[in-house]
Amino acid sequence: MKLLVSPPPPLFPSSPCRRSGKAILQKHFHAVATRESCKCGEANRTAICRVAETHGSEQVKGREPLRRGTVSPRLPVPEHIRRPPYDGTDHLPDVNPGRQMHDRESIVHMRAACELAARVLQYAGTMVKPSVTTDEIDRAVHQMIIDAGAYPSPLGYGGFPKSVCTSVNECICHGIPDSRALRDGDIINIDVTIYLNGYHGDTSRTYLCGEVDEPTKQLVKVVTKECMLRGISACKHGVSFKAIGERISEHVNKYGYSIDPFIGHGVGTIFHSEPIIWHTYDYEPGFMVAGQTFTIGKPLPWPSSSR
């Protein structure tokens, strides 16, 4: 889930919490793109950080560990489409420390980018069915984005080879689409980001594939959605960023879940920037300011009853 609102001037940019948040974001994108960072020493991984096929610690009971499929070649983007600065470099940019402040005109551009991303995501969700591959979803997403005159933001970002992130089951985020077919009972997060007229629109949602057990339905349909709404409800001008994590954590604790240490981030003309948005209790300084945009996305582990 991504949010169109606003962050603040970073008050203490050197705080350990801020630095570790940047490291998390950098680590996750770096892991999918380079051989050195992968736990099993392979490039183009499907699962990131939770490497079920080699460690198995997150294997879900009664289900095979997630296995990587074949990653097809990168899809082309027409020359006339405006590209982000990182295109063609395969370089992973640092998380930008700048504040992305928007006036009324740039907010219009942000809304247009986010609305297109939402339409693409909605379409991608209709494809979530048993036997459909994540590569097929990627191709459809890619085509819809370029048909709209936009660029798929993940493509080439730090060497990422695809136009959308598809994270199945124990893969927490930034999964690479491949030839693996979805199966009955899978869950899949689809993360769509598009670059339109110089602005990134970033959104994601988790979908159920076929018949899914009740604990997983509760996780996806109830707890995750309610956490999202509670996080959004904290967003107002002048409110501390840590209020977001407090509201999410309070709700998660009611159900006995935990939150993985992943973060939200500023988004706008730059794909990833300050502020770093924590979804747990934290001491990150700074306050929300009208005119900025950022994401909220809080991965919750699969219910223990399913493991």
Residue 11 within any structural domain of the chain = yes
Residue 85 within any structural domain of the chain = no
- pTM to 2 decimal places: 0.76
What CATH number does the domain containing 234 carry? 3.90.230.10
Residue 92 within any structural domain of the chain = no
Question: Which tens digit of pLDDT belongs to each residue from 220-240?
Answer: 877 778 888 888 888 899 998
Strands 187-196 and 165-168: antiparallel
Question: Which tens digit of pLDDT belongs to each residue from 236-287?
Answer: 999 988 888 888 888 888 877 766 666 777 788 888 877 777 766 666 678 8
Residues 252 and 254: their CA atoms lie apart, in Å, by 5
Residue 87 within any structural domain of the chain = no
Tell me which residue range forms the domain holding 173.
Answer: 2-72+104-306
Q: Both tokens of residue 58? A: 């997150």
Q: Report helix, strand or coil for 106.
A: helix
Residue 78 within any structural domain of the chain = no
Residue 122 within any structural domain of the chain = yes
Residue 88 within any structural domain of the chain = no
Q: Report helix, strand or coil for 147.
A: helix
Residue 192 within any structural domain of the chain = yes
| Percentage of the chain modeled with pLDDT above 70 | 71
Number of domains in the chain: 1
User: Helix 104-126 crosses helix 134-147 at what angle (to 10 degrees)?
Assistant: 140
